[in-house]
Amino acid sequence: MLDGLARGVLAFGMVKMIYTMIRKLFISFLCVASLGLAANAQAPEDGGVMTLHDCMAYAVSNSTKMRIQQAAIGDAQIDRRDAALKLFTPQITAQTYAYYNFGRSIDPQTNTYFNTTSFHNNYGVSAGYDLFDGFQAVNNYKISKTGMLIADSQAKQVEADICLAVMEAYYNVVYYKRLCDVYEEQVATAESALAKARRQEELGQKGHADVIQMEADLADRQYDLTNTYNMYQDQKMTLADLMFWPLDEELVIDTSMPVWEVEPVSTNSVVDFALEHNPAIQIASWQQLNAKRELNTAKWQLLPTLGLYAGWSTSYYTYQGSQTATFANQFKNNGGEYVELSLSIPIWNRMSKHSAISRKQHALDKATAEYDQKRRDVESEVRRAIQDRDGAATAYLQAQRKAEVQAEAYTLNLKKLEQGLISPLEFQTANNNFLKAQADEMNSLFKYLIKQAVVRYYNGVEYINQ
């Protein structure tokens, strides 16, 4: 009896070992595939001056939002794998059990009751495949493939949001850095003018009130410089946070002024392209398609289901005080096979399937409404983006012209101040106008560049590729 038990345990162990090896090989394959996908991640730039493209690439590579979305893509891949296996492969199970029976039992040879201790050991393998399940497996596979597309498009959306936020923060840093440079020049000019005025006061060529006014003007310039520098540091910290830049490293970006470019586009062509290729609309369209498939699946569940099953089993037993066949002989002689064709016909399930159909119909109506709303939103966003870009372009040209005029006026007023033809108060007014014109010019340029980037994005050019 103990020998038979040992053989049974050994056979069970072999089955378990084979199953474990197959499982490990399958998991290893998945891990290799996942590593291959992860290898495409872009490495961050180390040191040096970061351009706008470098900042966006670094932010995308290190963003937690992208990591969350990559996990969602991994879930979608698993869903597609599970749906494919359920559609194309049968379900296979193996089982075994062993037990001792004390007291009354049935002798399998004579089919009579007797009182003795017995040992029973059973092995079985079965397989089943749904020949027809209301196209549930087929539709689930199609839904899982669309789910992969949705996950990829959602990742593109997240990437676009990150890049746009980084672009806005980047231009804010450049704006305040350039404004700091302007104020530094103004402070240097004011210091030089004050030193000259003090010398003129000593020579009796300028009054003390003019010197005090110029000292006040210098204090204003230094105050403005300090505030602007603080804003520059704040925007730089915002950019570093968006990029997930290491806190213990200095972020150095390219603060040169971008190039002014004019790209006339057709509004209707951009709208048509966005309505067909924009990720938000594609996601809404695929969600609507999946809702249709789920509704069709729910309707098909009212039909009967057909399944094919097959299996094999064998057993081994011994009785205390009796002579039984060996484990090998019983394992061979007690084996049996079966083939089963099962037809299940739904008759009454408390209207649960009809309720499921109604819910899926409502889900389809909701997805359709969301798709229509998304198309309207994207079309409005595209038209507004083009209008804002054109308005920003006009504003920049006007600001550029104003800055040129104010620069010329500032130069003339500076010469007049040196010659004593105007008061320091009049020069301060001209200086303020010049500073405001320079700030307006830079601000309108960066606004135009952001609006232009949005239009390019809707026209098919990703932010990171601009």
SS3 348: coil
Q: Among positive and negative, which fits the CA dihedral 130, 132, 134, 137?
A: positive
What average pLDDT does this structure show over 120-127?
Answer: 94
Q: Is the pLDDT of residue 233 over 80?
A: yes
Q: What is the C-alpha to C-alpha distance for residues 372 and 285, in angstroms, rounded to an integer?
A: 9
Q: 369-379: per-residue pLDDT in tens?
A: 999 999 999 99
Q: How far is CA 319 from the centre of its chain?
A: 65
Q: 343-381: per-residue pLDDT in tens?
A: 999 998 888 999 999 999 999 999 999 999 999 999 999
- At 220, the pLDDT band (50, 70, 90 cuts) reads confident
**Boundaries of CATH 1.20.1600.10 in the chain?**
64-89+146-303+349-465
Higher pLDDT: 16 or 238? It is 238
- 137-143's contacts with Cβ under 8 Å and 24+ in sequence apart are 137/83, 137/86, 137/87, 138/87, 139/293, 139/294, 139/296, 139/297, 140/83, 140/86, 140/87, 140/297, 141/80, 141/83, 141/84, 141/86, 141/87, 142/293, 143/83, 143/290, 143/293, 143/294
* R_g over Cα of the chain: 39
What average pLDDT does this structure show over 43-64?
Answer: 82
Q: Minimum mean pLDDT among 309-318, 425-434, 457-466: which range? A: 425-434
Nearest to 308 by CA among 282, 337, 335, 339: 339
Higher pLDDT: 186 or 122? It is 122
Give the pair of three-digit tokens for residue 311.
């299996």
Q: Is the pLDDT of residue 47 over 80?
A: no
Q: What is the C-alpha to C-alpha distance for residues 242 and 166, in angstroms, rounded to an integer?
A: 6
Q: Is the pLDDT of residue 292 over 90?
A: yes
Query: Cβ-count burial of 220 within 10 angstroms (0-12 exposed, 13-18 middle, 19+ buried)?
Result: middle
What is the Cβ-side half-sphere exposure of residue 426, based on CA atoms within 13 angstroms?
12
Instruction: Give the residue ranges of DSSP H helices in 203-258.
Output: 208-243
- The total of other beta-carbon atoms located within 10 Å of residue 355's CB is 12
Q: What is the C-alpha to C-alpha distance for residues 360 and 295, in angstroms, rounded to an integer?
A: 5
Tell me what pLDDT residue 381 has. Answer: 94
Q: Determine how β-strand 104-106 pairs with β-strand 305-319.
A: unpaired
* Mean predicted lDDT score pLDDT of the chain: 85
Percent of the chain with pLDDT over 90: 62
Q: Is the pLDDT of residue 17 over 50?
A: no
CA angle 13, 16, 19 (to 5 degrees): 150
- The total of other beta-carbon atoms located within 10 Å of residue 44's CB is 16
Higher pLDDT: 42 or 80? It is 80
Please give the single-letter amino acid code of residue 346.
P
CA angle 329, 330, 334 (to 5 degrees): 125
Fold classification of 64-89+146-303+349-465 is Outer membrane efflux proteins (OEP) (1.20.1600)
Nearest to 209 by CA among 193, 197, 195: 197
What average pLDDT does this structure show over 84-88?
Answer: 93
Q: What is the C-alpha to C-alpha distance for residues 271 and 379, in angstroms, rounded to an integer?
A: 6
Tell me what pLDDT residue 202 has. Answer: 79
SS3 357: helix
Tell me what pLDDT residue 108 has. Answer: 67
Q: DSSP string spanning 96-132?
A: EEEEEE-SEEE-TTT--EEE--EEEEEEEEEEEEEEE
